[in-house]
Structure 1
Amino acid sequence: MESVLRNPLAERLEGARTVLVAGAGGGFDVYAGLPIALALARAGKRVHLANLSFSALDGAPHPLGPDIAEVGPDTPGHPGYFPERTLARWLEGRGLPPVVHALHRTGGRPLRDAYRTLVERLGADAVVLADGGTDLLMRGDEAGLGTPEEDMASLAAVHGCGAGIKLAVCLGFGIDAYHGVSHALFLENTAALQRDGGYLGAFSVSPSSPEGAAYLDAVEHAQAATPDRPSIVNGCIAAAVRGDFGDVRFTERTSGGELFVNPLMSVYFAFEADAVARRCLYLDRIAATESFREVQAAVQAHLFSLEAHRPARPLPH
């Protein structure tokens, strides 16, 4: 029974025995799902990690298929940027299974097939798609979509993957303003999903929780392992989890701009993934693509076909 004292996301996952937690947007997005993955593991569930990858994966084994690499602590690859291997090394240091399934950045159809393979071969009852930021919720008629290609390809793939439970979470409210996302429109989209029954509420990552503390450690480890390309998204989220505020500096990559780190960046917004997918105006275009270049072309074709955009507007608070 639902209650304001219970987390609706946890309730949806209560009956699942095996959960796949996957990063939606590539790069370090899988870290945005790490607190949930660790909490599920502590609850006795079998948890697997996956991520849409920006890395060259030729040196990794592909036991489950051509578009799914199995990345571990010793997988060969770029020495300065390999988020999946960095996470695998952190997991190994924690005594956790050090495997991250890296998905090739490809078209909607092969990515859907890769997710179906993972769900079937891993025996996953549920998939949790994690977005570092909030542009996963942009339906396609907003003035700014952020960086939609990877997110929408992942959303289309999870929508068609065949898992019994498909959820989506966004962590990092406000971060995508740097990419032109209007967070007033994010809230408007969330309200529409609330009316449709697809919004599962929000909850924050606490630094005093085991999962919050572990997330902070994982982000610090990743920043040390990737000093030239640390994750701005997870750096901001980690700063918010610690309780930092305002123009927090943790990398030279943010020089020339002003950050607004605040407690809302440490809040998860949770959704039924299928409900998010149904509201996307161009997901069918993405789902039909065969390559990532076609995904990019599908986004541009959709934007060209729009007669009008919902204009960005500031939050009135």
Structure 2
Amino acid sequence: MSVETSLADQVITRYEKAAEINRSNPNRSGNLVTLPAGGGAADVMVTADLHGNRRNFQRILELAALDVNLDRHLVLQEVCHGGPTYPQGGGCMSHLMLEDVAQLVCEYPYRVHFMLSNHELAEMVDFPILKGGKMLNLMFRAGLQEMYGNRTADVRDAYLHFLRSLPIGVKAGERLLICHSLPEKCDQRPFNPEVFERPLADEDLACQGDVGRLVWGRDFRQENADAFAEQTGAQYFLTGHEPSTDGFQTPNSRQVILDCCGQNGCYAIVPVDDQISYGKLLAEVQRLHKPAPYPYGM
């Protein structure tokens, strides 16, 4: 058996097991994971877009300390498309982080929640993403090819199976909904919250479908957040999707946006509490890394 075949078989098995865990989560109904107050989850560490940033990924695992904090849950999102590339062919290595996420789901079943985001959705539906003059989907597959050779198609089928098992949101207590973004123009075109409960159809995954709107939207108006709150029954939203040089943003009185991709990447460890307020939510936002001190004399 070649090294490529052995590695491929291990990864395929890992993806299959992780997908089964995602779907059998006792806290999941439809496409939504619900962590009720007093239900066994003391808090949830929420992170956002990583795009292959290995340093920040490792820091998240250190801070989460899931082996010590047995009542803690961890939310991850958007690890694909970015980070280092293979030195010879230039393929994207972020597929390795996706594999690591699947391993975490297996190691900490029902406690690690990898949510669907727009970049993982783009992999699912073959939606091309061009960024910085590079076709990210093609670079991702080139990375797979460099690692798995003639087993690439088998590994790709396995990770697509895993991606199709992902939840589209996590609700922590009665008030907080964690999702990748907010749909656009909910005050003009209402979002259908039934998508959290029912089996997903192909039209849901299109850019203007309910899931597509949820992960691609960039409408930060107060009116939009208010409408989304009324339609979902949540009061506050902890999201990713939007790049931020400061690591977080507060675009309206209901939403906190996190970004884990850069040096100033931020996370939040939020208590699972039915009475959480926006101020409390914002107070839990912390940086992954301590700011570097200024050189002497500056």
Fold conserved (TM > 0.5)? no
TM normalised by structure 1 equals 0.30
